[in-house]
Structure 1
């Protein structure tokens, strides 16, 4: 696949019956990612709570493939946005983010109003020097080449958002999630 034909970013959104602060609190506790993501099995953060500059390690699995990533939080604005970048062996891999907006500002057929619109974003950072090696490592360790990454990430993002929504809704109702 040529760089011109390659997808470099992706966004998925879901309306959640919870407030922005609750959702931000759940997402910014990176240790929760292992509960929601179909690839992430756990995250180790040395000193929670996280803030811009906080570093962490993610442990991932998809089928028989196991790998780790190192990450750094780049944006942490409570109730608005949470963004982090991940890499492996010092090579940049991806930027992941979450935006939180009042759902009333985005009416539509699937959004009757109320709640929060959560948007998860992904941006491929495998560009420039080291991009070829980073792409090869992604294929070898994660079992996903660039042609399949968009489909895998889209499915994973939808699953993550649905699981996050269930957790947040249960928290808002005062039950375990």
Structure 2
């Protein structure tokens, strides 16, 4: 697969019966990612709550593959948008984001992913993704799409629990 054929971004969305503020609060508490994501097993944040510039460490696993990422929150706009970049060994890997749009019946949550393995170091970062995470560039879109759908479904389920408890 050439870089011209490679998909560099993806988005998935779900309509959730919850308000934007509640959903933003769940997503921006990065420690929740270990509950929802099929890859992320946990996130360590030195000083919650997170805001733009907050750094964190993610611990990930898929099958026999274990790896960690370092991250930094790049946008934290309550009720609107939450975005963070992740990398490995100082190399940029991906930008993940969540948008929250009010719709009839709740909030449309859109999860976005952009591959940052470009330019200088991009080849090494892609190789590390294959070695440590077990996903080569050809499979990345399918793996991420499935993971995003799972993450959003689990977020929606937790939002329903929060709503019924409130």
TM-score of the pair, normalised by structure 1 = 0.93
Q: Which aligned runs of 4 or more in structure 1 are off by greater than 2 angstroms?
A: none
Written as runs of structure 1 = structure 2, the 5 A alignment for 1:99-118 is 99-103=99-103, 113-118=104-109
SS at match of 2:111: strand
Correspondence 1:41 to 2:41: yes
In structure 2, C-alpha distance between the alignment counterparts of 1:13 and 1:138, rounded to whole Å: 25
Quote the residue 1:10 is aligned against. Answer: 10
Correspondence 1:136 to 2:116: no
How far off its partner does 1:10 sit? Answer: 0.1
Quote the residue 1:61 is aligned against. Answer: 61
In structure 1, C-alpha distance between the alignment counterparts of 2:52 and 2:78, rounded to whole Å: 12
Written as runs of structure 1 = structure 2, the 5 A alignment for 1:16-31 is 16-31=16-31
* Matched positions, count: 166
CA RMSD, Structure 1 to Structure 2 (Å) = 0.7
Partner deviation per Cα, 1:36-86 (whole Å, 9 max, x = no partner): 000000000000000111000000000000000000000000000000000
In structure 2, C-alpha distance between the alignment counterparts of 1:173 and 1:114, rounded to whole Å: 16
Quote the residue 1:174 is aligned against. Answer: 165
Written as runs of structure 1 = structure 2, the 5 A alignment for 1:87-126 is 87-103=87-103, 113-126=104-117
In structure 2, C-alpha distance between the alignment counterparts of 1:135 and 1:100, rounded to whole Å: 30
Quote the residue 1:110 is aligned against. Answer: none
How far off its partner does 1:114 sit? Answer: 1.4
In structure 1, C-alpha distance between the alignment counterparts of 2:30 and 2:108, rounded to whole Å: 20
In structure 2, C-alpha distance between the alignment counterparts of 1:128 and 1:83, rounded to whole Å: 21
SS at match of 1:5: coil
